[in-house]
Amino acid sequence: MTTLTENPNVAATADTHHGPAKGLKRWLYTTNHKDIGSLYLWFAFIMFLIGGAMAMVIRAELFQPGLQIVDPHFFNQMTTVHGLIMVFGAVMPAFTGLANWMIPMMIGAPDMALPRMNNFSFWILPFAFLILIMTLFMEGGGPAFGWTFYAPLSTTYSSDTTALFVFSVHIMGISSIMGAINVIVTIWNMRAPGMTWMKMPLFVWTWFITAFLLIAVMPVLAGAVTMVLTDKFFGTSFFDAAGGGDPVMFQHIFWFFGHPEVYIMILPAFGVISAIVPTFARKPLFGYASMVYATASIALLSFVVWAHHMFTTGMPLFGELFFMYCTMLISVPTGVKVFNWVATLWRGSISFEVPMLFALAFIVLFTIGGFSGLMLAITPVDFQYHDTYFVVAHFHYVLVTGAVFSIIAAAYYWLPKWTGVMYDVTLAKAHFWCSLISVNLLFFPMHFVGLAGMPRRIPDYSLQFADFNQWISIGGFAFGLSQLIFLALLIKACRKQGKPVDAKVWDGAEGLEWEVASPAPYHTFSTPPKIK
């Protein structure tokens, strides 16, 4: 789509600039978008493993009916902190890391627009999660009210460490908002001459829209946790009917943040897939403009569907219908996207490199998650599905085989550009097949137990669910172990073990990031390239 007329940077860059600083200072004081991108990505991966370990505790407890390994209060803390870590610690920082690495290179910018703030938005994150994880070891335990922290569970019935939970969420929010401001300003103001809006790679477009969503809804989350704090500790009654408030109000405010939040976690994934599929189908993306408009439509619709999380909470009939129809409407732009990817594949000259394997798995499995979402959107049947494992199956299909698979696909796609060497393809393929099989063993049977009525967030279940749950747990352990293959592969690649690669790693790839050397020099595009 974009080609360079001239590119003065490629050869000259490495000489005219100094390289990175030495030692720990490089990482603590850095203002370099590539360093910060790497920090975000490693942090996200470590959080993915910690959050994953908590999922293993959950699956170990659910391996058999009855209570055997952990007590219910600890089980609740595990489900809660697993959710918080995966959403705010793994998926979101991973996408921010990809944005940091790739957006300046994709639009021909020398760095992110506000480099010092970029460093600040990363380094406050580990502290936020340190506080969150510390609460698990304190008196009364950590948050045990679900990642959605519904009142009154988080107010009347929570432990005193809720204050620390609230402040740690505040810090996560500050980090996301600063990161989003950086992304949006970079895209708006730092594009190279000739990089017009409709020439931008879709990963840039999707992140631009995601950043807008982040700026719009993260402050609302901050407001929600603040009200929880004052309700619990300062005697307010926002979520207490005795003082004129309403616990349902919490759900409205939370999901006004929460629903756009799920698109925050999936829109950049769409951008990644839209980069990978054309490369390995060796065809330009089908329907570029419609992809942009579809992304924007999804983002706008995401503000008017929040109450579909609350069909069973109680709402006037008009509300139930309004939110049902709006939710179903989202499947139209989402369908446009899936259709476009399939049309891109149509009559392409397809090859199955590892990023493509993950991207294809994404398209199929994310669509399954989308369909179960459509089922959940139908108000009358949601009364049956609500708060069962069907919901757990749905959002893990969109978040694990959707968002996480796209992050892994992105890592396999751009890792040679980052390290300069091709990773161990055998290990990568093993990682793919192990993950693919185990993840379906893990989440697919959840549909069945959910439809049969097994409730979520409960450490025990009726005997008839025992067989399926054993399979689910085995799938869970296998999926967890499969990620260790990825860890080994990443360590090898970062130690530069592998065959050196050219600037253009994949023969079908297009875009500015493939015009700079591999590994990408510490500074790229200090003078902007000219784009035809």
Partner 1 sequence: MSQQHDSQSYYVPEQSPWPIVGAFALFLIALGAGTTIAKIHQTGDPGWGKTVLIAGIVIVVLMMIGWFKDQIHESMQGMHSEQLGVSYKQGMSWFILSEVMFFMAFFGALFYARVLSVPWLGGEPNNEMTHLVLWPDFTAMWPLEKTPDGTETQAMGWTGLPLINTLILLTSSITMHMAHVGLEKNNRKQMKLFLTLTVLLGSIFLYLQVLEYVHAYRDLNLTLDAGIYGNTFFLLTGFHGMHVTVGTLFLIVILARVWCGHFSNDNHFAFMAASWYWHFVDVVWLGLFIFVYII
Among residues 3, 72, 160, 499, the one that binds partner 1 under rule CB under 8 A: 160
Site for partner 1 in 170-189 (CB under 8 A): 170-171, 174, 177, 180-182, 184-186, 188-189
CB of 407 to partner 1, least distance (A): 24
- List own/partner pairs for 228-235 with CB under 8 A and 24 or more apart: 228/149, 228/151, 228/154, 228/155, 228/162, 228/166, 229/162, 229/163, 229/166, 231/151, 231/155, 232/154, 232/155, 232/156, 232/158, 232/162, 232/163, 233/163
Rule CB under 8 A: is residue 14 a binding residue for partner 1?
no
CB of 379 to partner 1, least distance (A): 18
Query: Closest Cα to residue 182, out of 39, 37, 18, 300?
Result: 37
Among residues 256, 341, 385, 465, the one that binds partner 1 under rule CB under 8 A: 256
Q: Return d(Cα 133, Cα 81) in angstroms, integer.
A: 8
Structure tokens at 76: 């609740």
CB of 80 to partner 1, least distance (A): 17
- Smaller CB separation from partner 1, 103 or 227: 227
Rule CB under 8 A: is residue 148 a binding residue for partner 1?
no
Q: Tally Cβ neighbours within 10 Å of residue 69.
A: 14
With contact defined as beta carbons under 8 Å apart, do 29 and 21 qualify?
yes
Stretch that binds partner 1, among 67-75, 212-220, 290-298, 377-385 (CB under 8 A): 212-220
Site for partner 1 in 294-323 (CB under 8 A): none
Rule CB under 8 A: is residue 218 a binding residue for partner 1?
yes
Rule CB under 8 A: is residue 23 a binding residue for partner 1?
no
Residue 204 — φ and ψ, nearest 5°? -70, -45
- Smaller CB separation from partner 1, 110 or 402: 110
Residue 290 bears catalytic tag: no
Q: Return d(Cα 409, Cα 286) in angstroms, integer.
A: 20
With contact defined as beta carbons under 8 Å apart, do 98 and 268 qualify?
yes
Residue 308 bears catalytic tag: yes
Rule CB under 8 A: is residue 233 a binding residue for partner 1?
yes
Residue 421 — φ and ψ, nearest 5°? -125, 155
Residue 232 bears catalytic tag: no
CB of 132 to partner 1, least distance (A): 10
Q: What is the largest CA-CA distance in the chain?
A: 70
Rule CB under 8 A: is residue 499 a binding residue for partner 1?
no
Catalytic residue among 2, 154, 162, 175: 175
Rule CB under 8 A: is residue 43 a binding residue for partner 1?
no
- Smaller CB separation from partner 1, 176 or 367: 176
Task: Give the residue numbers marked as catalytic.
Answer: 82, 111, 147, 175-176, 259, 261, 263, 274, 308-309, 334, 337, 456
